[in-house]
Chains A and B, each alone.
Chain A
Amino acid sequence: MSYIIVICILGLLGIGFYCLLITRNLLKLVVALQVLVKGAMLAVLFAGCLVDNMEVAQSMALTIIVADTIVAVIGLAMAIQVRQITNTSNIRSISTLRK
């Protein structure tokens, strides 16, 4: 059981980090961040299981969920604004916003 959860955590972190490095679409970047954070959240809960202190782990996981959602909202808002200004979702276009 523990090994399965560890594999899930490492897999999610690896997939998220890899996608974060190679993706060029702003919306896909937010998706990669979401996957990465899910791995981190599972890791926090798993650490709580290991030390038999689930209450603190759950409290921290709750904060992570809130922060993750806000990151998604801000990221999507930025993606929309960048797309409307530059007519592309390519992350390279962000550098052209400079006056």
Chain B
Amino acid sequence: MTFIYALIAVALLYSAHKATRVKGLLNAALWLAATSCLTAILMYIMGSPGIAVIELSVGAGLVTVLFVFAISIIGDEKIESKFFIPPLAALLMATIPFIILAFLWISGISPVFENTPADILANTIWEDRKVDLYLQAALIITGILGIMLLIAPSVANRFKKEREK
């Protein structure tokens, strides 16, 4: 069983790497969808089937469709400008947190978690974490406005006209 987990982990990291480094935005979107699928499988294994299903439908479905839609509008482009941060420095900056984590692990300093008993998921969502629900509603409304911005060419046109003046 551990072999299967290791296989999923390797596939997940490989697809995440490909999503960020592959040439072509469409390929990146497809690799990102694969990353979402594998994340959903990992979530299922960890005992969260509900969240896994939502991640699969939203992460691999909705977000991929949005990406393909956006790519079809603006197309792919090869960018030749210089890096903001040299790749070696970026690699170092991305590695430093893990070095600190490894140091803490070796030193035996680990966080202490407090175990608080929780209710079933439905009660937790609808009663204990009601603020989260309001936040999600606000975010969804923001998302709808974002979609409108996504398909509205008038914003860019108005901006262009103002610049020309």
Contacts and interface: CB of A to CB of B under 8 A. Distances in A.
B48 to A, nearest CB: 5
B9 A7 contact: yes
B5 A56 contact: no
Contact of A24 (B79, B128, B139, B156): B79
A14 B94 contact: yes
B62 A54 contact: no
Interface residues of B, number: 85
Contacts, number: 232
B101 interface: yes
Contacts of A25: 25, 77, 79
A88 B132 CA distance: 37
B20 A23 contact: yes
Contacts of A19: 20-21
Interface residues of A, number: 73
A52 B20 contact: no
Nearest to A91: B84
Nearest to A49: B46
Interface of A: 1, 4-5, 7-8, 10-19, 21-25, 27-28, 30-32, 34-35, 38, 41-42, 45-47, 49-63, 65-70, 72-74, 76-81, 83-85, 88-92, 97, 99
Interface of B: 2, 5-6, 9, 12-13, 16-17, 19-21, 25, 28-29, 32, 35-36, 39, 42-43, 46-48, 50-51, 54-55, 58-59, 62-63, 66-67, 69-71, 73-74, 77, 79, 81, 83-85, 87, 90-91, 93-95, 97-98, 101, 113-121, 123-125, 128-129, 132, 135-136, 139-140, 142-143, 146-147, 149-150, 153, 155-157, 159-160, 163
Given A38-B16, A73-B147, A74-B146, 18 more contacts: A8-B42, A19-B21, A24-B79, A31-B28, A31-B32, A41-B55, A42-B42, A49-B46, A53-B117, A54-B48, A56-B128, A59-B124, A66-B140, A69-B62, A72-B66, A74-B142, A76-B66, A79-B74
